[in-house]
A = this chain, B = another copy of it.
Amino acid sequence: MKELTLQVEGMSCNHCVAAIEKALMKLDAEGKVDLASKKVDVRYDEAKTSVEEIKEAIEDQGYDVQ
């Protein structure tokens, strides 16, 4: 398992948290969103996904990954 912290703009409420966590789950990754710091901690398996796919999954939900 690898870990990664992303800075993400546009997350405003618990619905946003759920949307991002669900999108990461589809990549078999685990996300922990902190709204206050606008950070998403991600644990993922390099054999199953990549940083690029993770960023894309979050952007597809309508957020900007910095």
Shortest CB-to-CB span from A21 to chain B, Å, is 13
Copies in the complex: 2
Q: Which chain B positions have C-beta within 8 A of A16?
A: 13, 15
Main secondary structure of the interface of A (DSSP, over half): helix
Q: Does A66 contact B (CB under 8 A)?
A: no
Q: Does A19 contact B (CB under 8 A)?
A: yes
| Cα separation A15 to B18 with both chains bound (whole Å) | 10
Q: List 11 A-B contacts (CB under 8 A).
A: A10-B13, A12-B12, A12-B13, A13-B13, A13-B15, A13-B16, A14-B62, A15-B15, A15-B16, A15-B18, A15-B19
- Nearest 10 pairs of A and B residues by beta carbon: A15-B15, A12-B12, A12-B13, A13-B13, A13-B16, A15-B16, A15-B19, A13-B15, A14-B62, A10-B13
